[in-house]
Amino acid sequence: MLKLILKMLFFMLVLAALFLLEFQLFGQDFELLFSQQRCVEWFSRIKPYGWAIGIGLLMGDLILPVPATGIMAALGNVYGVIAGTLFSVIGSAGGGFIGYGVARILGRKGSRYLASEDELDRFQRLFDKWGAMAIIISRIMPVLPEVLTILAGIARMHPARFIVSLLLGTFFTSLLFSWIGYSSRSLPGYGIMAAVLIPLLIWPVFLKIVHHKKGE
């Protein structure tokens, strides 16, 4: 499972790098999403319709290199904890549903370039056992949520089980980072910085857990 996850991560990072290059060349406004203070200021200026853009960006996180937790914090800062959480759940879970649906339609045939049949069989057994928990935990981390939603579709995870796992993980993640953004209104830069750094610090723990489960 770890090997397949790493392959997917590499593919997503390459795709993200290509988009970053494109936006570096043609989209200077995209850079403000990575500037804590400017991101909050931007959402404040476009407050009447900024929530819709926030939802769209979180959905686009499936393929775009968007700092999702930073956007969640900015939405919480500008719109408050309840509205920020709602917008974040709609956007982030919406992207997850799209990734799962596309991967489920493509199925194993579309994933053969990533792994052999034997690897896919072993992955599916592991995913059937640990997939729900992995999806819930992954929602707080960068890149990995998109990878696991796609893998859930490839493994043909039961739709109801996937939906419950996705919504649970997305809700608590959205609530946490909306609260971080709201509680740091006096110093929004620090709040969004924390929203970006916290997921990065959790990454090593998650990989260690996956490696441990692989050995069981």
For 131, the token pair is 């997939």
Report the alpha-carbon distance of residue 151 to residue 8 in Å, rounded: 9
Span 196-206, pLDDT tens digits: 566 656 656 55
pLDDT confidence bin for 14, thresholds 50/70/90: low
Span 58-68, pLDDT tens digits: 998 887 777 88
pLDDT confidence bin for 154, thresholds 50/70/90: confident
Q: How many CB atoms lie within 10 A of CB 67?
A: 20
Contacts of 12 (CB under 8 A, 6+ apart): 143, 146, 147
The alpha-helical segments, DSSP class H, found in the chain are 2-26, 36-45, 47-60, 68-79, 81-106, 117-138, 144-154, 159-183, 188-214
pLDDT in the model for residue 19 = 54
Span 86-125, pLDDT tens digits: 999 999 999 999 999 988 887 666 566 555 667 666 667 7
Mind spelling out the 3-state secondary structure of 88-139?
HHHHHHHHHHHHHHHHHHHCHHHHCCCCCHHHHHHHHHHHHHHHHHHHHHHC
pLDDT in the model for residue 26 = 43
Report the pLDDT averaged over residues 203-211. Answer: 57
